[in-house]
């Protein structure tokens, strides 16, 4: 599954190495070089994933993360950080970021994390589709009348027998010795 990704990185060497790999993997990638441009793009476009450095000019990666969650809560966010900013990344994870990578990182690590996000999104879509099909199948216009009535009788019978069982279990059998 191809993802629509906003890639935010101010280092041209990192962008030059990562962008071709993301595009070769089939993802639709828009890249920007600073936090201000990323915030502008988040205001106008929708992305499934935002991959952002934490330390950026004009706005940091945490502000981008917060804005992405504000405008589209379903957006997944992966933070890239140097060793010194790991505490910031951990704080963002506690606030709902999906993952973080410590620089320098292997591009395959990023691709694996993106594949996991794509797989999760695909499963979520399948689940949503299945729920919609079930809701359509439960529609009373779809079920034949005989099936509906037999289902209702069975449901009423279970309710009666279970309530009768609950009632008899709650009653003491025999004489209550505590009363005269």
Contacts of 59 (CB under 8 A, 6+ apart): 34, 35, 36, 38, 39
Comparing C-alpha atoms, which of 35, 40, 25, 32 is closest to residue 6? 32
Tell me: pLDDT of 156 over 70.
no
Tell whether 121 and 96 lie within a shared domain.
Answer: yes
Tell whether 144 and 93 lie within a shared domain.
Answer: no
CA distances from 128 to 43, 84, 122, 125, 132 (A): 27, 40, 10, 5, 6
The per-residue pLDDT of the chain, averaged, comes to: 80
Tell whether 98 and 16 lie within a shared domain.
Answer: yes
| Residue 3 near residue 28, CB atoms below 8 Å | yes
Tell whether 103 and 160 lie within a shared domain.
Answer: no
Structure-model confidence comparison of residues 1 and 142, the more confident one? 1
Predicted confidence at residue 147, as pLDDT, reads 53
How many domains is the chain partitioned into structurally?
A: 2
125-137 residue pLDDT tens: 999 888 888 887 7
Tell whether 148 and 122 lie within a shared domain.
Answer: no
Tell me: pLDDT of 171 over 60.
no
Percentage above 70 pLDDT, the chain: 74
Classify residue 36 by burial, with Cβ atoms within 10 Å: 0-12, 13-18, 19+: middle
> Any idea which residue has 């993952």 for tokens?
99
Tell me: pLDDT of 146 over 60.
no
Tell whether 97 and 142 lie within a shared domain.
Answer: no
Contacts of 148 (CB under 8 A, 6+ apart): 140
Tell whether 158 and 82 lie within a shared domain.
Answer: no
43-79 residue pLDDT tens: 999 999 999 998 899 998 889 999 999 999 999 999 9
Which residue range(s) make up the domain with 145?
Answer: 138-168
Tell whether 22 and 100 lie within a shared domain.
Answer: yes
2-23 residue pLDDT tens: 999 999 999 999 999 999 999 9
Predicted confidence at residue 151, as pLDDT, reads 53
Predicted confidence at residue 173, as pLDDT, reads 42
Tell whether 86 and 73 lie within a shared domain.
Answer: yes
Tokens of 155: 């449901």
Tell me: pLDDT of 39 over 90.
yes
Q: Select, from the ranges 101-105, 120-124, 130-134, the one with the highest average predicted confidence (pLDDT).
A: 120-124
Contacts of 26 (CB under 8 A, 6+ apart): 2
Is the full-model pTM beyond 0.75? no
Tell whether 53 and 106 lie within a shared domain.
Answer: yes
Q: Is residue 175 one of the residues assigned to a domain?
A: no
| Residue 70 near residue 96, CB atoms below 8 Å | no
């Amino acid at each position: 599954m191809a993802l629509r990704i906003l890639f935010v990185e101010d280092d041209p060497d990192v962008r030059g190495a990562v962008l071709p790999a993301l595009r070769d993997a089939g993802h639709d990638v828009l890249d920007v070089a600073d936090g201000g441009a990323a915030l502008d793009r988040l205001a106008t476009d929708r992305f499934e994933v935002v991959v952002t450095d934490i330390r950026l000019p004009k706005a940091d990666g945490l502000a981008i993360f917060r804005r992405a969650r504000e405008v589209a809560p379903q957006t997944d966010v992966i933070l890239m950080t140097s060793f010194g900013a790991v505490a910031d990344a951990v704080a963002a994870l506690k606030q709902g970021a999906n993952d973080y990578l410590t620089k320098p990182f292997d591009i395959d690590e990023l691709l694996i994390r993106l594949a996991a996000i794509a797989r999760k999104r695909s499963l979520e879509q399948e689940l949503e589709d299945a729920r919609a099909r079930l809701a359509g199948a439960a529609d009373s216009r779809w079920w034949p009348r005989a099936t509906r009535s037999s289902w209702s009788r069975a449901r009423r019978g279970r309710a009666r027998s279970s309530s009768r069982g609950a009632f008899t279990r709650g009653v003491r059998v025999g004489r209550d010795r505590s009363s005269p």
